[in-house]
A and B are shown apart, each in its own frame.
Chain A
Amino acid sequence: MTGLQRFTPLQRALHWLMAVLILSMLFIGVGMVSTITPKYLPLIATHMTLGVAILILALIRLGVRRRYGAPSLPADLPVPMQLAAKSSHYLLYGLMIVMPLLGLTMLSAADYPVVLLGGVRLPRILPPSERLHTLLWGAHHYLAFLFFAVILLHVSAALFHALIRRDGVFAAMSPLPARERN
C-alpha cells in the first residue's frame, strides 16, 4: 500500500462533494417521479444534469484513487468487516458509474432528448427500442433503491468507526483538517 494515513485533500473533497450530489440525486429522483406539479420539469432537468456531473466526477475519482491509493484498513478489523468494507466500496463505485449510464441509455432507448440545464443537448447514444427501454428503466429504478440502501450502510459503518471503534477509518475521510494524533 501507499502508507497513507488519510485520504489526500483532493480525494476527501471529491468524496464529500459527491456525497452531497448523490444524495440530492436520489432524493430528486424519487421526488420527481411522484409529482405532477410544475416542479417536475426543472427536477428532471436537474436530475439529468447532476447525473452527467456525477458520472464525470466518478471517473475522475477513480483516476485519483489509482494515482494516490487509499489508507489501509486497521489490521485488527475482523475479516467479515474487511470484506464488507471492500465489497460495499466496489458497489458504490459501480453504482456511481452505472446509474448515470443507465439513465442516459434509458432516455435514448425511449427516444427522449436529453437536455441539461442551460440548454445543453446530448447526442442520442442508442436506437429507440421498447424492450431495451424496459430493461434499462427497470435497472435504473431498482438500483436506485439499492444505491440508497448501500449509502445508509456506508453511513452506519462510518459512524460505527467514528463513534464506537474509533480506529481512524472515519478520520481518514473526515472533511475536517487532521486533529492531533491520539
Chain B
Amino acid sequence: MTPPLLKPGRAALGSLALIAVVVAIAAGAFAYTAGWLSPRRLTPTRLVAAFAPPGGPALGRRRNHVRGVCFTGTFEANGAGTALSRAPMLARGQYPVVGRFNVGTANPDDPDGEVRVRGMGLQITAPGGELWRAAMINPPFFAVATPQAFHELLRASHAKAPDAMAAFTARHPEFAAFGAWAKSAPWTGSYAEEPYNSLDSFVFTNRSGERRVVRWSLRPAAHPVPVPHDALLQRPPDFLEQEIAQRIKGGPLRWTMVVTVAAPGDPTADPSQAWPEDRRAVEVGTLVVEQIQDERDGPCRDINYDPAVLPAGVATSDDPFPAARSSAYRASYDLRTGEEKDYPRTTAEAGR
C-alpha cells in the first residue's frame, strides 16, 4: 500500500509533518480568533480593566457604577407605547420592576458628592417572563461617540502624563460638550430628582411591523432642587443612599417614561449627539418606586443590567454601544459573581 517509489520511513515522516501542519494551523486560527495573537484588540476584559481605580477594582462588585442601592416597584404602562412597540410591558397594565440607583464611578471610595454622573438600572418583567433591562444615566447625551473613544477616555483619565486629557479632547471634540454639561448642569441632592436617559438608540417594532428608531428617558415627578456642589461635598459619602431610603418613607417615587422617535437623518448611531427638541415624544407609562433595599442582600445585586436584554418589539439599532456594553457588563458579571467572598451577603438565606 505504500507508494512504491518512496521508502516507508520517508512517507511516514511526510505524513507526520502534514498532520503537524494541520494541527498547527487549526490551533493558530483558534488562538487568533480568541485574540491571543492581538494584544491591541479591544476585548471586554481590557475594557473592564480600564475602569479600575489605581488601587485595583472593588472585588465582588460591579466594575463601574460600583456603589448603588436596590429598589422594587411597578411600571404602570398607559398603553400609548403599543403604537410604537409590541413589547408586552408597553400594553396598558402594571409590571413588576427591580432596579438600582447608582453613582457613575468605579471607585467605591469616591464620595457621592464628587460623582457627576448618576444612574439607574431597571428591569421590567412581563407576565410571560420576558425581560426589559436598561442602564441609564442622567446626562442628556453621552461623553463620546464610540466605544473605542470611551476606552481611550478611561485610559487618558487614569494616565500619569499631564497632557493626556488635553490630547484626548483634541482627538474627540465631542467630549467638550460633555465637559460643558458636567461644569454647568445643576447638581441635586437626590436620586429622586434626576432624569435617567437611555442615550443609546434602539429599534421599536409595533404589531404592524413598523420600525422606528427611538431613545427613552425617565423624567422625575419630583421637582429638581439645585444644590451648590460645595454643599454636597460636605454631606456624608453615601448621602444619596441615605436620602432615598429616608425619602421613600414619605411614599412612592415616580418617573414618567418618555419615548422619543428619531426623524430621518438624526444621528442614531452616536449617543454623544442629542436629537432636536421637537422630535415626537410619547409618554408610555410611569415608573413607581415603592421600596428601597441595601444592595448587599438586595434583589438587584445579581441582576446584570445589560442593555441588550430586550423584549420582542425592542431591538438594538446601529448604535454600537449596547453591544459593547453587553459584552463588557458580562465580563464584569463573570468576574464579580466569582468573588462573592469579597462582598459577602449578611444573611444566610440570601447566600444561595
**Interface of A toward B, CB cutoff 8 Å:** 26-27, 30-41, 44, 110-113, 119, 121, 123-124, 127-134, 137-138, 148, 152, 155-156, 159-160, 163-164, 166, 182
Contacts and interface: CB of A to CB of B under 8 A. Distances in A.
Interface string B11-47: 0100110110011001101100111000001111101
Given A31-B33, A152-B23, 4 more contacts: A33-B43, A35-B327, A133-B337, A164-B12
A159 B22 contact: yes
Contacts of A156: 19, 22-23
Interface centre among B34, B331, B333, B340 (most CB of A within 10 A): B34
B316 A41 contact: yes
10 contacts: A34-B34, A35-B43, A36-B323, A38-B316, A40-B324, A41-B322, A134-B337, A137-B338, A152-B26, A163-B18
CB-based closest 10 A-B pairs: A34-B35, A30-B34, A163-B15, A36-B324, A134-B338, A129-B352, A130-B337, A38-B323, A36-B327, A31-B33
B303 interface: yes
Contact of B323 (A34, A40, A119): A40
A78 B206 CA distance: 66
B117 interface: no
B94 to A, nearest CB: 21
B324 A127 contact: no
Given A35-B327, A36-B42, A40-B323, A131 B12 contact: no
A26 B327 CA distance: 18
A27 B18 contact: no
Interface of B: 1, 12, 15-16, 18-19, 22-23, 26-27, 29-30, 33-35, 41-45, 47, 129-131, 147, 302-304, 306, 308-309, 312, 316, 320, 322-324, 326-328, 331, 333-334, 337-338, 340, 351-352
Contact of B147 (A27, A36, A123, A152): A36
Contacts of A128: 302
Given A27-B29, A40-B327, A113-B131, A137 B308 contact: no
A155 B23 CA distance: 8
Given A41-B308, A41-B323, A124-B129, A131 B352 contact: yes
A38 B322 CA distance: 8
Contacts of B309: 112-113
A110 B15 CA distance: 47
Contacts of B326: 40-41, 44
Given A35-B43, A38-B320, A111-B304, A130 B352 contact: yes
Given A130-B340, A131-B340, A164-B16, A148 B30 contact: yes
Contacts of B22: 155-156, 159
A112 B305 CA distance: 10
Given A40-B327, A182-B1, A113 B130 contact: yes
